[in-house]
């Protein structure tokens, strides 16, 4: 089992969610986050004063999937989140040692 964590632009969230549903993902956790990568934020003009926006708004998705579904999930995220511009995001894949469903006590792939 793997935990796929993706950080994407907020306006791409619905497209990513729909793409993941098409490949069979049944659930995910979404968190509104702020951060920056290589773009290092940007400057904005507000009422004649220029100020630096260090942290840009992003959305973090976390999806627990069986090993056989990982590549399809990654491809779906890339295809649906990509705009071709700086700040499209990142995908991280980590191993999940064990998963438990609290309500039923199921473990492993059955708990996903």
pLDDT digits (tens, 9 = 90+) for 77-110: 999 999 998 889 999 999 999 999 999 999 998 9
CATH number at residue 35: 3.30.70.120
Q: What's the full length of the chain, in residues?
A: 112
Angstrom distance (rounded) from CA 21 to CA 87: 24
The pLDDT of residue 42 is 63
Domain of residue 58: give its range: 2-111
Angstrom distance (rounded) from CA 99 to CA 51: 45
Listed residue (17, 16, 8) closest to 58, CA to CA: 8
Angstrom distance (rounded) from CA 94 to CA 110: 19
DSSP secondary structure letter of residue 27: -
Q: Say how many domains are in the chain.
A: 1
Q: What is the pTM of this model?
A: 0.85
The pLDDT of residue 43 is 67
Q: Give kind and range of the element (H or E) at residue 21.
A: helix 13-22
* Across 54-78, average pLDDT: 94
């Amino acid at each position: 089992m793997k935990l796929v964590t993706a950080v994407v632009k907020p306006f791409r969230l619905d497209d990513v969610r729909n793409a993941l549903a098409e490949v069979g993902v049944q659930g995910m956790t979404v968190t509104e986050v702020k951060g920056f990568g290589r773009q290092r934020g940007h400057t904005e003009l507000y009422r004649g004063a220029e100020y630096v926006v260090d942290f840009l708004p992003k959305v973090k998705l976390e999806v627990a999937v069986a090993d056989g579904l990982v590549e399809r999930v990654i491809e779906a995220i890339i295809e649906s989140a990509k705009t071709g511009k700086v700040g499209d995001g990142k995908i991280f894949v980590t191993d999940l040692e064990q998963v438990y469903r609290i309500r039923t006590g199921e473990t492993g792939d059955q708990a996903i």
